Amino acid sequence: MSVILPLRELKVGQKAKIHSVTASGELGRRIRDMGLITGAEIEITGRAPLRDPVALRLVGFTLSLRNNEADFITVEPL
């Protein structure tokens, strides 16, 4: 059985596969447009001093998400 966690709980350097994106409306569309879709593999590359935002690598590029956006994404650690 795999462990499913919110994206914000991953540590720097940890890799995971996106399990689900639960955001709807404009936020959900924006998250998916960035390539954060079910099955995509990501790696946490950094965090700001107060842990918000989180930087992650996805298919060769780095993007940043605020924790309130990351809360809509669940992942399966690899």
> Which CATH number fits the domain that encloses residue 68?
2.30.30.90
Token representation of residue 56? 């992650």
Averaged pLDDT for residues 52-70: 91
51 vs 73 pLDDT, higher one: 73
Residues 10, 28: Cα–Cα separation, whole Å = 20
Of 3, 23, 22, 70, the residue nearest 42 (C-alpha): 70
Residues 25, 11: Cα–Cα separation, whole Å = 28
CB 49 within 8 Å of CB 73: no
48 vs 19 pLDDT, higher one: 19
Share the mean pLDDT of the chain: 92
Averaged pLDDT for residues 12-33: 95
Domains identified in the chain, total number: 1
Q: Tell me the residue range of the domain where 68 lies.
A: 5-77
Q: How confident is the model at residue 49 (pLDDT cuts 50, 70, 90)?
A: confident
CB 54 within 8 Å of CB 69: no
